[in-house]
Amino acid sequence: MDTYKNPHLSNVQKPVNPNFAPKTNQERPVSNAPVLKIIPLGGVGSATKNMYVYEYGNDQIVVDCGMGFPQNSDLGVDSVIPDISYLEKGSKHLLGIVLTHPHMDHIGGLPYILPRLKEVEVFGGKLAIAMAEIKVREFGIQNRMTPVEGSLDLGPFHIQLIHSTHSVPNSFHLYIKTPAGNVYHGSDFKFDLTPIDNLPPDLGSMAAAGTTGVDLLLTDCLGIEKQGYCPSERTLVHAIEDEVRNTAGKVVFTGMSSSISRFQIAIDASIKYHRRVAVIGRSVEQNIEAAIKTGFMKIPAGVLIKPQQVAALPAGQVTLIVSGSQGQAGSAMHRLANNEHRMVRLKKGDKVIISSNAIPGTGNDADIFDLMDTLYKNNVDVIYSGTSENLHVSGHGYRGDIALLARLTRPKSIIPIGGDLRHMMIYKDLAKDMNYDPKAVFVLSEGQSVLLENHIVKEGPKFETKNIYVDGLGIGDVGTVVLRDRQVMAEDGILIAIVPLRKDNSQIAGDIDIISRGFVYQKESKDLINDARKEVYKCLKDQKGIATDWGFIRKKIEAHLEKFAFDHTQRRPMIIAIIVEV
């Protein structure tokens, strides 16, 4: 296996991006601290937003840079990214970001975080790098990205990339060796011995790491609630083929946009039953393009057609691969279901195959069910894991897979990652069954570090972190206060009072406007609106003198209206008073 050494940390020469100018060996102080610090900035206590800092002396690497998905209560939020304040405030040298696989909860934060870490190079498998490049180039980001096979040397970190299997090809675990000890970073995985790409997990290298020595194992734990071993992706082939064969009209196949293996199965089945394939949805188009470019999808010439060609073919000769399996508003699948797509229409006899489940922790099941209901209303058949077996399997190992990884790597200590708190706590029970001391299993929260010193793991200091919300073009400008305001408006509406006041004597100088949005319907609640207007007059009747503090008067009006609204309706709308100076 090849070892790639960062050209900026060795004498190897590679083409250098002119915008990329990290410090050379001569400029960097030598690390001599015997302690490795590991800080999860995401990925513990939740199944998404994975990001882990490894720090030895003055040197750091980061493993993964994912995004999270908003909860239903995060109104208006598009995504959530890790808080990298620790990386920005420190005086350390970040030598690189290493990606384990190309799912959005592991690479989706890059477009938002790389602009703040401008000189950092990104490494990973061929597919992860190809998909990550697509994401960041759309944002005009020029950080250099380097595909790596075998191993990678970054300062004091010797990193071996060990092939694992997941629900996306070209996934890796990382065996990280440092002077302080050795860590096995076992990101999302299952032991799929018959994967679609015929590249099974490298069990030999996993066992070899255990023989060499693993002081600390970080291990995926999301599937730990299920007994046994997670089924192979190949178990889906027959069910998907049957659905394609038995469909008279168009086949619409949707899954997570990075479900390369699933798309390959659907395309192979379409070829077998003489269907042409159109890909609809930007994210799916880009990911399939990246998978073809890197050799992880193989599609014969003449199979793929453009969406605008669909109408010219008989429905029974067409398969659509579509993004939007989570029912996201505005997605290609959402537009198709609502007959809003400009090139393709679904009709009776067409069939939608949904080969995915809700993203853990997002609570978006309702969106998916709404999508299905819309399709049913339009007489389109829907097939999903709830109605047909073997249309979806998890990418996360079950209890047997998780135990096997620990047996292969034989760690002294363990940190469960990539799951909610309950999954992490259940892992402690599994570790006890494997004869581990409960004190050797660390259940961490975001920002809670561990220290590896002389091959011994102990809990380190806690670093403050928070969710960084991405809302449209804004990053981090939506906080808990804004979300709370949005929640109030969503539940009880908003009541606005526009009050003209004279500056010379603070008296009301015209009509007061009361505007209700989501609180009460103004046309049918005229008495309540008039009473609110009278409440403002009453509030200001004793106001005299030259106004020096409009803010005080505004808060006074808001306090009176808040009490009025609750007394009359038992609701607490957001109250906004606007003073118009006359």
What are the catalytic residues?
220, 396
Contacts of 342 (CB under 8 A, 6+ apart): none
Is-contact 450 216, C-beta < 8 A? yes
Element (H, E) at 82: none
**3-state SS, residue 208:** helix
Say which amino acid occupies 552: F
363: left (phi over 0), alpha (psi -120 to 50) or beta: left
SS (H, E, C) 457-522: EEEEEECCCCCEEEECCEECCCCHHHHHHHHHHHHHCEEEEEEEECCCCCCECCCCEEEEECCCCH
Taking the CA atoms of 422, 423, 428 and 432 in sequence, report the sign of the dihedral they define. Answer: positive
Pairing verdict, β 574-581 and 494-501: parallel
Specify which residues 162 forms β-bridges with: 173
Task: Assess contact for 355 and 284: CB atoms under 8 A.
Answer: no
* Helix (H) or strand (E) segment spanning residue 75: none
d(CA 434, CA 431): 5
**435, β-bridge pairs:** none
If one counts every other C-beta atom within 10 angstroms of the C-beta of residue 197, the result is 18
Angle between helices 282-293 and 126-137 (to 10 degrees): 140
Under a CB-based contact definition with an 8 Å cutoff, are residues 533 and 516 in contact?
no
3-state secondary structure (DSSP) of residue 176: strand
If one counts every other C-beta atom within 10 angstroms of the C-beta of residue 566, the result is 13
